[in-house]
Structure 1
Amino acid sequence: MISPQELEGLKFMYESMKRLTAAVLIYAVVLFIVLTSGLAPGIGIPAIISFVLFISGASEFNKAFRILELYHGIFRLGKVVAILLFIPLVNILGVILFGVLLTSLGRNYRNGLMSLGGILTAVPFTLPLGVIISLIALKRTWENPNLHLGSAQAVNYNWGGSAPDTSPQNGRVVQVGVGRIKGGQANFRLYAYQEVYIKDVILEGYPSHTTSVMPSHLVPGSNEVSVYLSPEPMLPVNTMHKLVVILSDNSVVNVKVENRVQ
């Protein structure tokens, strides 16, 4: 079953593709009108709309890559793809790489429609058709995740551990979204299907120990958790780390936190 944060990444991907496609179409129409009729007045509002859609789409694009790279190693190329897509003359290379990412995503989910969309997106002459098919496949996947195999069954996290089972029948607690860590404090959100307590939290790869967990009692539903560590770990900026959360039933939840500079 696909985890909640992975679904969030797929939704960001869908929204970004939809907005960027709309921005490009509006821009193309405006450019066509200007070149064919020379009517520059009156195109200001469509141009502004296109620009706003482009910026918001680029923002969603970045969010999608940041989440999906936690589940699919190939999405580490996301930053390169994002840069190439928005640079004239070389953006065709970005489009090809993006098609490769979509194809890989389709294989991971055993989603033939998404793989087909990725292949067509990577070919310049079939790009429009590929984008349409990819949008349909992405929407179907995040709206109906049970129709496909998620990374909880097929893909490991970048740090090498298995993704936690997010099914209410098989797991008590799952992480929602990506947490933050700064200095000696980590903040993240956990969704509990049953009442449970946090026994300990370990920052993997660092000698810091937990001095306080608030709250340590997780109630059914969403829980905002803050963990305080000592000594303060010296973490490189813009890096992802793993917290091992040990619960009262001795089960473990792997929590992703990012040391990101605003």
Structure 2
Amino acid sequence: MSMQNPELDGLRKLRSGILFLIISPFLAGIGFLMLSLFGLAALAGASSGGAVGAAAGFITDIIAGGILILLGSILGIVGVLRIKGGFDILKSIGRDVGIGGTGGTLYLVGLIITVIGALIVITVVGIPVGLPLYYLGLVIALIGDILIGVGIYKVGDAYNEGTTKIGGILAAIPFDLISFIGYIISYIGIGKIINMVSSGTYVANPSYQAGYSQPYSQYPQQYPSQAPQFYQVGQGIIRSNGYAQLAIYASTPASIISANIQGTPLTSSNINPNMLNQGNNYLNIFFGNTSSLQIGGQYTITITINSGGNIITINAIATYQG
């Protein structure tokens, strides 16, 4: 059974979380409309003489509106948990998106405060306390929202995907409509990234260095001009959890037979994906216990490839980050 690709898992979590944040404001917005419009209508009825009926209608509208706000906040919490989880996974494989994870934490704290405020609001007698608490949560969530937008931009920058970068910029602008549009654009852009990573055809931003000790560059092997070309893109990383992440360019589809770290007994037990598609391929190679490696040390990983029946070996450089 092949190992799940953590990069795709992180991107998918991020995208699904953004979808929740697109839906969440609708519910909360409807709730606020009910609190304001229906509440005013009830008060107008009270001024015309129907005090008892108006009071009952006001209470009903407050409860209904508060419930919608509560549901919207809870949906937002689910969304931001997935966004934070997505950022954390991408950070763990070397993507420079930590600011998005920080934003997710702040957003989560803010939304929890809004839920508490909404719960107090629907008790009716707690409105003077509940609403200020709710707005305090909104301010904290707003700061988190800005940082999430910056994190989304960094995702677009890492994968050289312009739509995601535009979406991240708009999402970071603290105006509801603009931010909302930014999340929609980000959702579309990250979908493109997922498709590129799944097919192994994405081209990394040449200036992007997160997770690598130097900018992306190519290390071609010497083959005749008509022969298939396989070489490393950038410089990889090896982590203490036993995984190595590498980007490999292939001029033609091929299969990976094995990988080993030179000068050590470490040999791959799982490579995902184990097929190379034409273009850039992001590999996750599991070597097991890497505690014998030196933190900061550079190691050569030899990858054996089967290309149309021809066995080819290429060397890739990776830094052990511990």
Could you state the TM-score of these two structures normalised by the residue count of structure 2? Answer: 0.52
Give the 3-state SS of the residue equivalent to 2:213 in structure 1: coil
Counterpart of 1:205 in structure 2 is none
Q: Supply the distance in 1 between the matched residues of 2:147 and 2:206 (Cα, whole angstroms).
A: 25
Say which of 189, 193, 218 aligns to 1:137.
189
User: C-alpha offsets along residues 36-88 of structure 1, whole Å, 9 cap, x if unaligned?
Assistant: 4543379869956863x444423321232124334543x12123211222222
Do the aligned residues in 2 keep the contact of 1:20 with 1:54 (CA within 8 Å)?
yes
Say which of 174, 183, 199 aligns to 2:260.
199
Counterpart of 1:215 in structure 2 is 269
Deviation at 1:18, TM superposition (A): 0.6
Q: How many residues align?
A: 231
2:204 pairs with 1:151: yes
Tell me the C-alpha RMSD between the 2 structures: 4.8
Could you state the TM-score of these two structures normalised by the residue count of structure 1? Answer: 0.61
Q: Percent identity?
A: 18
Deviation at 1:101, TM superposition (A): 3.1
Deviation at 1:17, TM superposition (A): 0.6
Superposed counterparts of 1:235-250, under 5 Å? 245-248=301-304, 249-250=313-314
Structure that is richer in strand per residue: 1
CA 1:179–1:137: 2 relative to 1, 3 Å: same
Structure ID, larger Rg: 2
Counterpart of 1:85 in structure 2 is 107
Do the aligned residues in 1 keep the contact of 2:160 with 2:205 (CA within 8 Å)?
no
Deviation at 1:92, TM superposition (A): 1.7
Counterpart of 1:252 in structure 2 is 316
CA 1:163–1:28: 2 relative to 1, 3 Å: same
Counterpart of 1:18 in structure 2 is 19
Do the aligned residues in 2 keep the contact of 1:16 with 1:60 (CA within 8 Å)?
yes
Give the 3-state SS of the residue equivalent to 2:211 in structure 1: coil
- Of structures 1 and 2, the one with the larger relative CO (CA 8 A, separation 6+) is 1
Q: Tell me, which stretches of 5 or more residues in structure 2 are unaligned?
A: 39-57, 111-136, 219-227, 276-282, 305-312
Q: Tell me, which stretches of 5 or more residues in structure 1 are unaligned?
A: 203-209
Superposed counterparts of 1:1-262, under 5 Å? 6-30=7-31, 32-33=33-34, 36=38, 38-39=59-60, 40=63, 51=74, 53-69=75-91, 70-73=93-96, 75-86=97-108, 87=110, 88=137, 89-107=139-157, 109-125=159-175, 126-144=178-196, 150-151=203-204, 153-161=206-214, 170-171=229-230, 181=240, 186=242, 193-200=254-261, 210-211=264-265, 213=267, 215=269, 220-221=274-275, 225-229=286-290, 245-248=301-304, 249-252=313-316, 254=318
CA 1:49–1:180: 2 relative to 1, 3 Å: farther
Task: Name whichever of 153-162 and 87-96 sits farther off.
Answer: 153-162
Q: Supply the distance in 2 between the matched residues of 1:7 and 1:14 (Cα, whole angstroms).
A: 10
User: C-alpha offsets along residues 160-198 of structure 1, whole Å, 9 cap, x if unaligned?
Assistant: 156698xxx654899xxx99746xxx3679999424333
Do the aligned residues in 1 keep the contact of 2:104 with 2:145 (CA within 8 Å)?
no
Q: Supply the distance in 2 between the matched residues of 1:244 and 1:63 (Cα, whole angstroms).
A: 31
Structure that is richer in helix per residue: 2
Deviation at 1:127, TM superposition (A): 1.7
